[in-house]
């Protein structure tokens, strides 16, 4: 399965929680513990005088960088104040919460997520979870499955049984333009418009690839050679070897005499590992992880982060 299929996991199936039966972190006067009990993981916050303990309901994120937990209290959903980070193999403050200064056990446990935000979270991390704008857990399938991108499968399954090509046809995404792709993938990975209007700004947006890509000088809304799916097949694991993307770059930035894109310059420094120079790794503060910046550019040493 691809990493997107593990964008959310139930606690019973969560590999990180199963292999880390006891996680602990102390932050100021608060102690945080995640302890495995059978197929459950209990999230406990203590201030020395009292404690708040709740079962975790869902784990969001595969954990290549980090994993955040969703719990329910008094019928409301919360995002855990601490997350698991692979690089340190332990807990630390959840991205975006570093500036918070909790004063009560409830505040220290996590951030309340309203109905609109919870719908957005589950829409991107799970499949078939949102109906009429509301979360319906009974139909939820953890992770990004086929239907999340290609549409409902009912007619597809019926059509396969009947041999009806029109019925079993599902939405095809291969013909999308670069603009279409940035908007479609940006529905979860953040579009240019969303980040421009709502942030975050500065290096906090380096992990939002569609936004960063559309900032690139070489981005062309009508040229599929610069779309998200030119480089990334959502049905496969992400290739982390930067040199493997050279052919994609050179489809436009071709050597003299080769078919390329008019006006696309050829690099005079190197002929391989294009992404290693032109898509630098940027550390997202607090994430214990570096992200590939999809703002493709001549990245001068010590240059300011381009917004």
For 157-180, what is each residue's pLDDT tens digit? 666 677 776 666 677 788 889 999
Omega prior to 76 cis, within 30 of 0:
no
Predicted pLDDT at 93:
98
Which segments of 99-244 does DSSP mark as H helices, in order?
A: 105-109, 115-125, 146-150, 154-162, 165-168, 178-189, 192-198, 209-215, 228-231
Task: Tell me how far CA of residue 32 lies from CA of 11, 85, 90, 198, in angstroms.
Answer: 18, 15, 11, 31
Instruction: Measure the CA–CA gap between 29 and 47, rounded to whole angstroms.
Output: 6
Fill in the DSSP letter of residue 218: T
Residue ranges in the chain whose pLDDT is less than 70: 1, 155-160, 165-169
38 φψ region: left (φ > 0), alpha (ψ -120 to 50), beta (else)? left
Predicted pLDDT at 144:
92
Predicted pLDDT at 74:
94
State the residue for tokens 């040199």. 243
Predicted pLDDT at 220:
94
Predicted pLDDT at 257:
79
Burial class (CB in 10 A: 0-12, 13-18, 19+), 282: middle
State the residue for tokens 């690089």. 87
Contact status, residue 142 vs residue 3, Cβ threshold 8 Å: no
Instruction: Measure the CA–CA gap between 149 and 142, rounded to whole angstroms.
Output: 14
What the block records as the tokens of 211 is: 């936004």
**Torsion angle defined by CA atoms of residues 298, 295, 305 and 237, in that order, rounded to the nearest 10 degrees:** -110
For 272-289, how does the pLDDT look when each residue is reduced to its tens digit (9 = 90+)? 999 999 999 999 999 999
What the block records as the tokens of 18 is: 């199963």
Specify the pTM: 0.90
């Amino acid at each position: 399965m691809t990493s997107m299929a593990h964008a959310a996991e139930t606690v019973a199936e969560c590999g990180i929680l199963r292999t880390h039966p006891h996680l602990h972190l102390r932050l100021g006067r608060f102690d945080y513990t995640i302890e495995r009990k059978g197929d459950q993981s209990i999230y406990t916050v203590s201030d020395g005088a009292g404690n708040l303990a709740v079962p975790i309901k869902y784990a969001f994120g595969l954990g290549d960088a980090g994993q955040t937990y969703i719990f329910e209290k008094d019928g409301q959903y919360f995002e855990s104040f601490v997350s698991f980070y692979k690089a340190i193999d332990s807990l630390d403050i959840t991205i975006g919460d570093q500036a918070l200064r909790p004063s009560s056990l409830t505040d220290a446990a996590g951030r309340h997520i309203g109905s609109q935000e919870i719908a957005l979270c589950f829409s991107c991390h799970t499949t078939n979870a949102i109906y009429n704008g509301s979360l319906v857990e009974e139909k939820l399938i953890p992770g990004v499955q086929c239907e999340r991108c290609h549409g409902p499968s009912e007619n597809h399954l019926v059509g396969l049984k009947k041999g009806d090509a029109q019925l079993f046809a599902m939405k095809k995404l291969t013909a999308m333009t670069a603009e279409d792709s940035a908007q479609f993938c940006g529905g979860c990975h953040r579009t240019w418009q969303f980040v421009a209007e709502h942030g975050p700004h500065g290096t906090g947006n380096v992990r939002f690839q569609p936004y960063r890509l559309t900032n690139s000088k070489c981005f062309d809304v009508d040229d599929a050679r610069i779309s998200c799916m030119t480089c990334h097949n959502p049905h496969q694991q992400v290739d982390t070897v930067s040199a493997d993307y050279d052919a994609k770059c050179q489809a436009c930035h071709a050597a003299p005499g080769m078919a390329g894109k008019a006006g696309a310059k050829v690099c005079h420094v190197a002929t391989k590992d294009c992404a290693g120079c032109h898509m630098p790794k940027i550390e997202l503060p607090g994430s214990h992880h570096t992200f590939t910046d999809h703002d493709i550019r001549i990245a001068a040493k010590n240059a300011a982060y381009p917004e």
